[in-house]
Structure 1
Amino acid sequence: MRDAEGAPRRDPQDRRATHGPGDPHDPPYRGRPPDPRHGHGYRHGRAGWTAAERRMLAVLRGCGDEPRVAAAARALSHGGEHGALWLGAGLVCAVADRERREGWLRGTALIAAAHLASMGVKRVVRRPRPLLPTGEPLVRTAGRHSFPSSHATSAAAAAVAFGVLRPAGRVVVPPLAAAMCVSRLVAGVHYPTDVAAGALLGGLLARGGAAWLRAGGGGHRDGGGRRV
């Protein structure tokens, strides 16, 4: 568009258009510089990093230089994408365990709800992914926001929900869920606080739905035949 004199009309909101880069009257530009890795315009600054987080992330990402550790981290990260491993396990158990089918379906729904909740928090917080001082992430990420870890959220929700549904779930699932949480640090795609917050969110949501799981036929029976 052009003004009355025929000159190109500039957007008054675009300070880069109305002021030259060296204009002394131009206030500091507070926009988000482009991300050289992903081409998105989100800020890559180290705001939010603590010294402890930097050290922990550097050590764990360094563990990923060992090929077998890297392979395990990639497998866990890919398996946990969008909660796929846990959702698939819940559906398989719903088919195989007819006595607790309703409970398994409810547990699967709880895991899905926890995952969606984490995605909603990410859109509010909008914390960028870590910028590694050395090396590259071991995996590509489905989104550019980091807090909280959706992998950790769905893993913790599964550990709680499956533990309510089957006693064996209390033994088998938590170690696998913990390994998945650590894999996101080894892969270099999350801060430690992302993983901790995600695990807390998933665990609390699933614990809040434990009574709903039991009402659907979940839980095991005690010596008196009551579900616990």
Structure 2
Amino acid sequence: MSKVEADILVAIQKRLFDAPLVLPLARGMSLFGEHAAGWMGSGLVLAAVDQRRRGRWLGLSTAAFCSHAASVIIKRIVRRRRPHDDRIRIGVGTPSRLSFPSSHSTSTTAALAYAAHVTGSPAPLVGVPLMMASRLVLGVHYPTDVAAGAALGWLSAELVETLLEDKLKEIV
């Protein structure tokens, strides 16, 4: 772990960890993003209610699932440990001790970048830095973990958009 990244986490936590509503919101986002389940479920719900774009919304679930799977594989290869500096408070439990890349940042970026494609609006992308920040506030990732996760998520969304889009549009 680099001292610089630990210092960044400490500075973020000093400003935000005890701020009203920040910790409950960050924990809620963590629960929603766990194993990409909230994003995959969102894609399924949207596919059910938006018949015209059903296949495209299934693409959101696909992007979330594939990006999450990729992040888990990379975590097992890289094997970077989660933050463990005594100054860093851990605000939520985690399913593993592995940190790089952040799976929450990966699947969130994949889902929201894909949603931006579907809707033609950049508005869904607002959620990406919020999820990234939540992982830092909770003390479970380093800044490079969330940045790499976001990059992997963006790549995943673009790949699903490129490779599967024609097939997914046909699903009605």
The normalised TM-score by structure 1 is 0.69
1:162 aligned to 96, 109, 115, which one?
115
Among 13, 17, 20, the residue aligned to 1:61: 13
Give the drift of 1:80. 0.9
Please point out which of 56, 65, 79 is paired with 1:112.
Answer: 65
Q: Which residue of 2 aligns with 1:31?
A: none
Tell me which stretches of 4 or more aligned residues in structure 1 moved more than 6 Å: none
Give the Å deviation of 1:176: 1.6
SS in 2 for 1:179: helix
Q: What residue is the counterpart of 2:24 in the other structure?
A: 71
* Structure 1 counterpart of 2:126: 175
CA distance in 2, matches of 1:213, 1:182: 30
Partner residue of 1:205 out of 153, 156, 166: 156
Q: Which has the higher contact order (CA 8 A, sep 6+)?
A: 2
1:95 counterpart residue number: 48
Query: How many residues of Structure 1 are paired with residues of Structure 2 in the alignment?
Result: 168
Structure 2 unaligned runs (5+)?
A: none
Counterparts of 2:77 and 2:12 in 1: how far apart (Å)?
27
Output one character per residue of 1:108-142: Cα deviation in whole Å (capped at 9) or x when no partner.
11210100100000001110110133253010001
Deviations, residues 13-40 of structure 1 (Å, cap 9, x unaligned): xxxxxxxxxxxxxxxxxxxxxxxxxxxx
Do 1:165 and 1:214's aligned partners in 2 also have CA atoms closer than 8 Å?
no
Cα distance in 2 between the residues matched to 1:135 and 1:66: 16
Render the CA deviation track for 1:53-112: whole Å, top value 9, x for unaligned.
122111112211224211111111111111122111101100011111112112211210
Q: Which runs of 5+ in 1 are unaligned?
A: 1-47, 219-228
SS, match of residue 147 in structure 2: helix
> Are the aligned partners of 2:67 and 2:156 in contact in 1 as well (CA < 8 Å)?
yes
CA contact (8 A) 1:157 1:206 kept: yes
- CA distances 1:173-219 after superposition (whole Å, capped 9, x unpaired): 2112221111000000000000000000110121122123531229x
Q: Specify which of 67, 75, 78 is matched with residue 122 of structure 1.
A: 75
Deviation, 1:162, is: 0.9
Q: What root-mean-square deviation, in Å, do the aligned CA atoms of Structure 1 and Structure 2 show?
A: 1.6
Tell me, yes or no, if the aligned pair for 1:164 and 1:213 is still in contact at 8 Å. Answer: no
Q: Which amino acid aligns with 1:204?
A: L
Work out the CA distance in 2 between the residues paired with 1:126 and 1:153.
17
Cα distance in 2 between the residues matched to 1:69 and 1:107: 27
Decide whether aligned partners of structure 1 residues 104 and 212 sit closer, same or farther in structure 2, where only a CA change above 3 A counts: farther
Cα distance in 1 for partners of 2:29, 2:63 equals 21
Q: From 179, 190, 196, give the equivalent of 2:141.
A: 190
